[in-house]
Amino acid sequence: MREIARIEAETHGDVEVARIAGEVDMTNARLLGDRLRGLLSNHSEALVVDLGPTTYLDSSGITLLFELVGELRRRQQELHVVVPEGSPLRRVIGIVGLDKAVPVHPTLEAALDRAG
């Protein structure tokens, strides 16, 4: 399997940040999900997924984000998503209703202000 997306991870206090660069589709969504879940500990308050550098997100990626919403809620943790204004992904996020399930922020700074 070729890698068409990569995760750059960093920690801000008790908040984990995952910046996903590239394309997310059925060939890598499961692997990316495993990586995202692996960033969290019992001490993590939130996970911020930054889709700013994401160039493509298919239904597998959307499903992954909805799964993370439920998993984190059960763990009493939060999911925040960053989708910049003007990004084509913002429309997709709105159509599928992800913006109703989790806070969607235009910048990483805005997400970090609200997370945790």
Q: What is the CATH number of the domain that holds 108?
A: 3.30.750.24
What does the pLDDT read at residue 108?
Answer: 97
The per-residue pLDDT for range 15-45, each reduced to its tens digit, is: 999 999 999 999 999 999 999 999 999 999 9
Domain with 109 in it: 5-114
Whether residue 19 contacts residue 52, with contact meaning beta carbons closer than 8 Å, is answered with yes
Into how many domains does the chain fold?
1
C-alpha–C-alpha distance, residues 43 and 53, integer Å: 27
pTM (two decimals): 0.94
